Amino acid sequence: MRIVKVIPYYGSWPVFMHPYLESCRRNPMLSVTFVTELPPFPRSPPNVRYFHLSFADLRARIERLFGLCLPGLIPYKLCDLRPAFGVIFADVIGDADFWGYGDNDMLLGNVSAFLTRERLEAHDVLSFKKGHLHGPFSLYRNTPRINDLFRDGGEYERVFTTPGYISFDEFGPNCFYTKMSRPEDVLGFPSDNISVIAFKRALAGELRVYNEQQVKEGLHHGDLLAYQDGRVVDVRTGRDYLFYHWVLEKRALWFQYPRWFQDRPTRFYVSTTGFYSTREYAAYPALHASRLLRGAVRWAGLKGANYVRRRLGRPVTLDTRPKVGGVKRLDAG
């Protein structure tokens, strides 16, 4: 079956593109298309393509398709529009059997072991974080009925025109899944996100949804993953994952990306302090401790510098989080 994952990307290519693209290279069953105005990333694998579209033209396309006016649309807001990608990017998806969306701050494991023909044939929507459909990677059967799923409940126009991200692609503003004790409870929640919409359809017997925990998102102290010949494996338990998403780890100053990745290693490791080659892994305890120490020192220095900048009335663009080591970017304006 042909599967197309669509990723609109505007700005500049991130430092972690090499790991993501190399994990794509080992999964030829998955075709990834970046919708962007950037030039193609060097040495991209054959199953990664680039569809050139300026952000202004993309905004005009969305406004035309839905009859909306979106003057304040920003790239991050596109996350709320993900469930509508089957309509917005119909020309990119073509006649693929499934289309999907997601992020690129991740390592794909052995995709074919999770997206088996039997599993795909048995489901219309597939997501691999239990409790809700997952923004980093979800799949939809490419049919008119499924592509229009986001229209259920009539909330999509309000969502698309609301400034700021409100998690339409996952669990909405109220994290509905944390308040459920049984599947039928979803009927009591508004259809202000694609998960509630899909789960309501599934309860009615009108949609086949796969929603099981098959990914790793968020590492804890002592956690260690190995990337071996296209698999993402927990070193302690031996469990395989569809992918590892470093959405939380990348917020810490001690999380380091590899400088050696252009050599296309077949094996490496990842922990809360970043990527390690097999050579670095031999000295892992010392390197891990060193990264933690240097990150904490940088964090303390940044915290002090930001205090001074605020006292002087100067803008802060990289702020410290309450948790030691954590940082977050702020709007410079």
Q: Whole-angstrom Cα distance, residue 95 to residue 269?
A: 37
Same domain, 317 and 289: yes
Same domain, 121 and 43: yes
Per-residue pLDDT at 268 exceeds 80: yes
Dump pLDDT digits (tens) for 312-331.
999 999 999 888 999 998 86
Same domain, 160 and 306: no
Number of structural domains the chain divides into = 3
260-294 residues labelled b (16+ CB within 10 A) or e (exposed): ebeeebeebbbbbbbbbbeebbeeeeebbeebbee
Same domain, 162 and 46: yes
pLDDT at residue 331, as a whole number: 63
CATH number, domain of 143, equals: 3.90.550
From 261, 279, 297, give the residue that closes a domain: 279
Same domain, 262 and 314: no
pLDDT at residue 49, as a whole number: 98
Instruction: Print the domain residue range for 128.
Output: 3-211
Dump pLDDT digits (tens) for 32-45.
999 999 999 999 99
Same domain, 133 and 260: no
Same domain, 203 and 221: no
Per-residue pLDDT at 31 exceeds 80: yes
Same domain, 295 and 273: no
Query: Average per-residue pLDDT in the chain?
Result: 95
Dump pLDDT digits (tens) for 6-27.
999 999 999 999 999 999 999 9
Residue 128, both tokens: 């691999």
Same domain, 229 and 292: no
266 — pLDDT class (breaks 50, 70, 90): confident
Dump pLDDT digits (tens) for 48-105.
999 999 999 999 999 999 999 999 899 999 999 999 999 999 999 999 999 999 999 9
Same domain, 200 and 222: no
- Residue 101 is classified by DSSP as E
pLDDT at residue 321, as a whole number: 84
More confident residue, 263 or 201: 201
- The number of angstroms, rounded, from the C-alpha of 216 to the middle of its chain's C-alpha atoms is 12
From 279, 299, 318, give the residue that closes a domain: 279
pLDDT at residue 332, as a whole number: 41
Residue 88 has, within 13 A of its CA and on its CB side, a CA count of 26
Dump pLDDT digits (tens) for 192-236.
999 999 999 999 999 999 999 999 999 999 999 999 989 999 999
Over residues 248-259, the mean pLDDT reads 93
From 177, 211, 245, give the residue that closes a domain: 211
Same domain, 38 and 94: yes
Question: Residue written as tokens 């039928």?
Answer: 184
Same domain, 193 and 128: yes
